Structure 1
């Protein structure tokens, strides 16, 4: 039985998922290959990518890619891999985001961490989506793009680099939906709450213990 009411067409559909080694990105990438969709699993960690693919129902449909999407050259390399391996992407999911530390509040976060958070969430998301859309439009093919934003796009989190990156991404989704929609490319946002995926790092034994307790509670 298909997970979805309208199954994908393996002959037409392909996917690219960033942040596919962890959390929601991993779950989405695994669900896609489980539906018969050839999917690029992109992540900064080779170990996580390997584990995510190995735990998938159809690992033979997965294409691994490892790189740092904070670098524009890495984004271009990812697009090149997707083109070479799958001949084009119809479904794009942008879940990649650097880990967050509670210590990086407004008075402490440094420029490098600020820039990295915006580069991965916003710059990479925009660049990848625009380039994938250009390919779909040229080929006159429909597509769907999904961005993972956050409840903190509209609510302060005491992590200004994260909240502002997600807020900008929420507006980017609206801008892209307005432009790409006329070309039959849907653009949507998924707005999750807290999940046990290691997104927040406290950098202490107490933080690790808190994360372990939260995982057991299913938070």
Structure 2
């Protein structure tokens, strides 16, 4: 069995993950817990969140990230319980498929409220924590979807492209505080949700893998390991960057 890196600099560090109850987010929570970090996560999936707490010992708060007041309050609660946040992982997203002609103003607002807006306000909220610590790391989740012209989810693709602009702006703006800001662009990560909604058969999964340069199913663990690296002191001179983890799909 392959043994992967453990990052001593993450031991005891307070980590805040959005959308951490399932999918990639849950794998990120598990990965930080294995490194001895003090992990907190928010999600609207209460049952899944409680199960992950039992597995990892992480701190869980029920929170709808589109409620910015509630998101800020959750960040304050984590600081009061665990200490100032040194790592923020802006993972939460919703990649529902939608046709261009079907997009309404209300849908546009709802999608960007999930996929973009909370990333900015969570980063804004933790900045003072990281200033107090003398630095920190913020990892924003983008996606490769926008690079190929995802006409089956144009609003999602727009938001995920904007994440890169946000990452570069915050990376520059936060640099004087020794706060690093980077993005990850995952490829076709085969989570339980993806299998349920978009890849229901082995044939559909195989079809995606066949388009990758590396012929392995891409799982959340692969993304989580990149998150760990970007969160750790090993990457202390990396900021304003976006790293693709897609097995060579695009």
If the TM-score is normalised by the length of the shorter chain, which range does it land in? 0.7 to 0.9
Change (3 A) 1:38 1:175: same
Q: CA deviation at 1:74?
A: 1.9
Change (3 A) 1:53 1:113: farther
Q: Deviations over 1:136-171 (max 9, x none)?
A: 22x152101101101123331111110011011111
Q: Deviations over 1:117-151 (max 9, x none)?
A: 211221110001011012322x1521011011011
Number of the residue aligned with 1:151: 144
Q: CA deviation at 1:77?
A: 2.1
Number of the residue aligned with 1:188: 182
Q: Normalising by structure 2, report the TM-score.
A: 0.74
1:1-219 matches, within 5 Å, as 3-4=4-5, 6-11=7-12, 13-55=13-55, 59-60=56-57, 62-101=58-97, 104-137=98-131, 139-158=132-151, 159-197=153-191, 208=197, 210-213=199-202, 214=204, 218=217
Q: CA deviation at 1:26?
A: 1.2
Q: CA deviation at 1:9?
A: 4.7
Q: Over aligned residue pairs, what C-alpha RMSD do you find? A: 2.5
Unpaired runs of 5+ residues, structure 2, are: 210-216, 219-250
- Contact (CA 8 Å) 2:138, 2:180: kept in 1 or not? yes
Q: Secondary structure at the match of 2:20?
A: coil
- Contact (CA 8 Å) 1:22, 1:48: kept in 2 or not? yes
Q: Normalising by structure 1, report the TM-score.
A: 0.83
Number of the residue aligned with 1:204: none
